[in-house]
């Protein structure tokens, strides 16, 4: 059993940020990463993907991303940067270490991982991230076995779907629209859409939109503030090249909201039927809560925690905190550039909690004498 002061589950940008903040406070911690390498979750993404944020806006404190500052990194750059960050700060890391269960007894968290490894600490940080399990709706079971089905996290390149296919993409967020545009050159593509989307320009007066969102502090507007509520409700896509008109110009058919599936057909809200050879589900992600086996730590919506700057990241369990969750404190919470703000706040709470925990342990020992 490895004993430490804090266990961090997940070594993405959120987990690395907490580990670095704790090191500055001289608090021992260990990062548990289930993949073989840090950043593998990025390496599995769509090959043609580039971030909406520039390299200058895709950094953690203390280490710059290589390359042209105003250019946009691909998935390998982000993955390699996170891996380099862990090496640069020599963070205590265990890879290929998947957590199977968590117990809490006498104020200590017991974390059980693969290969019968066990870790113990008074503090536990859930840094597993915002995008964990791709959502595939129950309607998928209504499709014929002849139809090839992929989720957004399984699609990487056009070669996966062959040539000249009837492809239907369900979900018109940025991922669904990027995949639709990529496949439209060689396939008949239909995009099933939901509520009307809002698009904003990627550049305004020669500056990256995220530069403006950072400079105006909109990116860090509290989840519970008026600006935060508006931003969350509208959820704009920062690329007008993905709007409806551009996709139609590329030959993509736009359908309504998915109502049901029937064999090789998908039916939209206008009762129009679209035949499919391939269906790609791009309906977002949900949290993988299976490893956090503590009673009342999760519900049907995912991990239970508070949101907003004042308490964002606190959970019903003393010493258990969350980082990297969507809208934990603000829009920036799930982004690389916003990870450090939540991490520093949580690190402060961990420091205070460990001080109190140490005092309580001393008092208990004195009382036993």
Do the domain assignments include residue 219?
no
Residue 247 lies in domain = 134-200+236-281
> Does residue 342 fall inside a structural domain?
yes
Domain ends where: 246, 264, 281?
281
pLDDT at residue 364 is higher than 80 = no
Tell me how far apart the alpha carbons of residues 343 and 127 are, in angstroms, rounded to a whole number: 10
* Rounded mean pLDDT, 321-337: 95
The CATH number of the domain holding residue 155 is 3.50.50.60
Residue 127 resides in a domain: yes
Domain membership of residue 208 (yes or no) is no
**Does residue 181 share a domain with residue 243?**
yes
Residue-level pLDDT at 363 = 66
Query: Vertex 176, ends 174 and 181: CA angle to 5°?
Result: 95
Q: How many whole angstroms separate alpha carbon 172 and alpha carbon 283?
A: 8
Report pLDDT digits (tens) over 165-208: 999 999 999 999 999 999 999 999 999 998 889 999 888 888 88
pLDDT digits (tens, 9 = 90+) for 123-155: 999 999 988 899 999 999 999 999 999 999 999
Structural domain contains residue 183? yes
Do 263 and 143 lie in one domain? The reply is yes
Give the global pTM.
0.93
User: Tell me: the pLDDT tens digits for 4-38?
Assistant: 999 999 999 999 999 999 999 999 999 999 999 99
Same domain, 167 and 271: yes
Nearest to 31 by CA among 13, 9, 12: 9
In tens, the pLDDT along 290-305 reads 999 999 999 988 999 9
Q: Are 82 and 182 members of one domain?
A: no
* Mean pLDDT, residues 327-333 taken together: 94
> Strand, coil or helix: what is 368?
helix
Domain limit, last residue, from 259, 281, 303? 281
| Residues 259 and 327 both lie in one domain | no
Residue showing tokens 């990870």: 339
Predicted local distance difference test score (pLDDT) of residue 183: 97
The arithmetic mean of pLDDT across residues 80-106, rounded, is 97
- Domains in the chain, number: 2
| Residue 210 counted as domain residue | no
Same domain for 152 and 45, yes or no, is: no
The verdict on 90 and 147 lying in the same domain is no
- Core vs surface per residue 337-367: b (16+ CB within 10 A) or e: bbbbbbbbbbbeebbebbeebeeeeeeeeee
Contact in structure between 154 and 135 (CB atoms under 8 Å):
no
- Pair 331, 216: CB distance under 8 Å: no
90 lies in the same domain as 22: yes
Do 80 and 160 lie in one domain? The reply is no
Q: Based on the domain organization, do 150 and 276 belong to the same domain? A: yes
Domain boundary among the residues 281, 315, 338 is at 281
Q: Which two tokens stand for residue 282?
A: 């791009």
Report the run of H or E that residue 253 belongs to, with start and end.
Answer: strand 253-255
Q: 157 to each of 36, 42, 140, 154, 278, how far by Cα in Å?
A: 22, 14, 22, 9, 14
Instruction: Give mean pLDDT, residues 315-336.
Output: 95
The verdict on 360 and 335 lying in the same domain is yes
Residue 270 and residue 244 share a domain: yes
Q: Is residue 247 situated within a structural domain?
A: yes
DSSP letters for 94-152: E-S--EEEEEEETTEEEEEEGGG-EEEESEEEE---S--EE---GGGGGB-TTSEEEET
Asked, for residue 207, whether it belongs to a domain, the answer is no
């Amino acid at each position: 059993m490895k004993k430490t002061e804090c266990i961090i589950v997940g070594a993405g940008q959120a987990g690395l940020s907490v580990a670095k903040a704790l090191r500055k406070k001289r608090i021992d911690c260990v990062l548990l990463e289930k993949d073989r390498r840090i950043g593998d979750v990025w390496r599995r993404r769509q090959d043609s993907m580039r971030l909406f944020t520039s390299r200058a806006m895709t950094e953690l404190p203390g280490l710059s991303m290589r390359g042209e500052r105003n250019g946009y990194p691909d998935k390998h750059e982000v993955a390699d940067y996170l891996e380099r960050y862990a090496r640069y700060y020599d963070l205590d890391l265990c890879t290929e270490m998947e957590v199977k269960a968590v117990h809490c007894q006498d104020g200590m968290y017991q974390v059980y991982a693969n290969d019968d490894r066990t870790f113990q600490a008074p503090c536990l940080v859930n840094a597993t991230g915002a995008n964990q399990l791709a959502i595939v709706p129950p309607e998928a079971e209504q499709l014929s076995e002849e139809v090839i089905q992929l989720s957004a996290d399984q699609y990487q390149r056009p070669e996966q779907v062959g040539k000249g296919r009837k492809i239907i993409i369900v979900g018109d967020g940025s991922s669904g629209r990027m995949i639709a545009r990529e496949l439209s050159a060689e396939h008949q593509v239909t995009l099933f859409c939901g509520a009307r989307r809002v698009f904003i320009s990627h550049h305004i007066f020669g500056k990256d939109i995220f530069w403006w969102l950072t400079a105006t502090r909109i990116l860090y507007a509290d989840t519970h503030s008026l600006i935060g509520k508006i931003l969350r409700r509208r959820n704009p896509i920062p690329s007008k090249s993905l709007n409806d008109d551009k996709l139609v110009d590329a030959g993509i058919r736009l359908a309504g909201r998915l109502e049901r599936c029937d064999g090789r057909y998908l039916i939209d809200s206008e009762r129009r039927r679209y035949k499919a050879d391939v269906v790609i589900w791009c309906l977002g992600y949900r949290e993988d809560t299976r490893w956090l086996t503590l009673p009342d730590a999760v519900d049907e919506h995912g991990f239970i925690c508070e949101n907003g700057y004042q308490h964002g990241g606190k959970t019903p369990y003393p010493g258990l905190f969350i980082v990297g969750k969507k809208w934990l404190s603000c829009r920036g919470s799930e982004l690389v550039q916003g990870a450090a703000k939540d991490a520093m706040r949580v690190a402060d709470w961990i420091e205070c909690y460990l001080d109190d925990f140490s005092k309580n342990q001393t008092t208990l020992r004195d009382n036993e004498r």
